[in-house]
Amino acid sequence: MSVQVHHFINGEFMAGDGQEQIAVTNPADNSVIAELNIATETEITQAINSAQQAYEHWRRVPVSERARLMLRYQHLLKQHHDELATILSQETGKTFEDARGDVWRGIEVVEHAANVASLMMGETLENVANGIDSYSIVQPLGVCLGITPFNFPAMIPLWMFPMAIACGNSFILKPSEQDPITPTRLAELFAEAGAPQGILQVLHGDRSVVERLIAEPKVKTVSFVGSVAVGQQVYRMATQQLKRAQVFAGAKNHCVVMPDANKTQVINQLVGAAVGAAGQRCMAISVAVFVGDSKGWIDELRAALSQVSPGLWDSPGAAFGPLISPAAKARVLRLIQAGKEAGATCLLDGADCSVAGYESGNWVGPTLFSDVTADMPIYREEIFGPVLCCMQVDTLEEAIALVNANPYGNGTSIFTASGAAAHQFQQQIDVGQVGINVPIPVPLPFFSFTGWKGSFYGDQHAYGKQAVRFYTETKTVTSRWFADDVVSSPNMTIALK
Ligand code: NAD
Q: Tens digit of pLDDT for each residue in 363-420?
A: 999 999 999 999 999 999 999 999 999 999 999 999 999 999 999 999 999 999 999 9
329-351: burial string, b at 16+ Cβ within 10 Å, e else? bebbbebbebbeebebebbbbbe
- Over range 305-327, report the average pLDDT: 97
- pLDDT exceeds 60 at position 495: no
Q: Whose CA is nearest to atom 39 of ligand 1?
A: 248
In a domain, 492, yes or no: no
151, 130: one domain: yes
CATH code, domain carrying 178: 3.40.605.10
Which segments within 157-258 are labelled E, that is strand? Answer: 170-174, 200-202, 219-225, 244-248, 253-257
Check whether residue 261 and residue 210 sit in a common domain.
Answer: no
Does residue 287 lie within any of the structural domains? yes
Provide the pLDDT confidence category of residue 248 given band limits of 50, 70 and 90. Answer: very high
The DSSP bridge pattern shows strands 132-140 and 124-129 to be: antiparallel
Helix (H, G, I), strand (E, B) or coil at 130: coil
Residue 264 alpha carbon to ligand 1 centre in Å? 35
Looking at the fold, whether 235 and 260 belong to one and the same domain comes out as no
Reduce the DSSP state of residue 399 to 3 states and report it: helix
Q: Does residue 4 have a pLDDT over 70?
A: yes
382 lines ligand 1 (CB under 6 A): yes
CATH number of 330's domain: 3.40.309.10
Which protein residue's CA is at the shortest distance from atom 13 of ligand 1? 207
E strand map for 381-444: 387-393, 408-409, 412-415, 434-436
Q: How many domains does the chain divide into?
A: 2
Based on the domain organization, do 284 and 215 belong to the same domain?
no
Tell me the residue range of the domain where 266 lies. Answer: 253-436
Say what the pTM is.
0.96
Q: Does one domain contain both 422 and 377?
A: yes
Whether 338 and 311 map to the same domain: the answer is yes
Do 356 and 432 share a structural domain? yes
Of 407, 436, 465, which residue constitutes the final position of a domain? 436
Q: Distance from the CA of 229 to the center of ligand 1, in angstroms? A: 9
Q: Looking at ligand 1, which residue's alpha carbon is closest to its atom 23?
A: 226
Residue 378, classed as helix, strand or coil, is: helix
Average pLDDT, the chain: 96
**323 CB near ligand 1 (under 6 Å):** no
Contact status, residue 27 vs residue 99, Cβ threshold 8 Å:
no
Q: Does 390 participate in catalysis according to the annotation?
A: no
What pLDDT is recorded for position 15? 97
Asked if residue 307 belongs to a domain, the reply is yes
The pLDDT value given to residue 282: 97
| Averaged pLDDT for residues 300-304 | 98
Residue whose CA is at the smallest distance from ligand 1 atom 19: 207
In a domain, 431, yes or no: yes
Residue 226 within any structural domain of the chain: yes
ipTM: 0.99
pLDDT of residue 412: 98
Are 209 and 331 part of one and the same domain?
A: no
Query: Is the Cβ atom of 227 under 6 angstroms away from ligand 1?
Result: yes
pLDDT band at 497 (very low <50, low <70, confident <90, very high): very low
Q: What's residue 484's pLDDT?
A: 73
Q: How confident is the model at residue 483 (pLDDT cuts 50, 70, 90)?
A: confident
Ligand 1 near 149 CB (within 6 A): yes
Domain stops at, among 436, 468, 485: 436
**Rounded-to-integer distance, Cα 168 and Cα 99, Å:** 30
Q: Give tens-digit pLDDT for 174-206.
A: 999 999 999 999 999 999 999 999 999 999 999
230 lines ligand 1 (CB under 6 A): yes
pLDDT at residue 491 in the model? 55
Same-domain pairing of 357 and 418: yes
Given a cut of 70, whether residue 131 has pLDDT beyond it is yes
pLDDT exceeds 80 at position 488: no
Shared domain check, 265 and 185: no
Query: Rounded to the nearest whole angstrom, what is the distance from the C-alpha of residue 231 to the centroid of ligand 1?
Result: 7
Is residue 483 one of the residues assigned to a domain? no
Query: Angle at CA 162, nearest 5°, toward 215 and 85?
Result: 105
User: Does the pLDDT at position 489 exceed 80?
Assistant: no
CA of residue 180 to ligand 1 center, whole Å: 13
Please report which confidence band the pLDDT of residue 485 belongs to, taking 50, 70 and 90 as the band edges: low
Is the shortest distance between the CB of 324 and ligand 1 below 6 Å?
no
Q: Does 470 reside within a domain?
A: yes
How many Cα atoms are found within 13 Å in the side-chain-facing hemisphere of 488?
A: 1
Q: How far apart are CA 411 and CA 86, in angstroms?
A: 28
Closest protein CA for atom 35 of ligand 1: 226
| Whether residue 233 sits in one domain with residue 119 | yes
- 177: Cβ below 6 Å to ligand 1? yes
Pairing label, strands 387-393, 285-291: parallel
Whether residue 266 sits in one domain with residue 234: no
Give the closest residue (by CA) to ligand 1 atom 34. 250
Q: Is residue 147 part of a domain?
A: yes
- Residue 6 burial (10 A CB sphere; 0-12, 13-18, 19+): buried
Question: Candidates 282, 442, 461: which one to mutate for ligand 1, based on the most atoms within 8 Å of Cβ?
Answer: 282
* pLDDT band for position 496 (cuts 50, 70, 90): very low
The catalytic position among 167, 282, 346, 390 is: 282
Determine whether the shortest distance from the Cβ of 251 to ligand 1 is under 6 A. Answer: yes
Inform me whether the pLDDT recorded for 142 exceeds 90: yes
The residue whose CB lies within 8 Å of the most ligand 1 atoms, and thus the one to mutate among 155, 156, 206, is 206
Q: Which of 436, 465, 487 is the last residue of a domain?
A: 436
- Ligand 1 pocket residue status of 92, Cβ below 6 Å: no
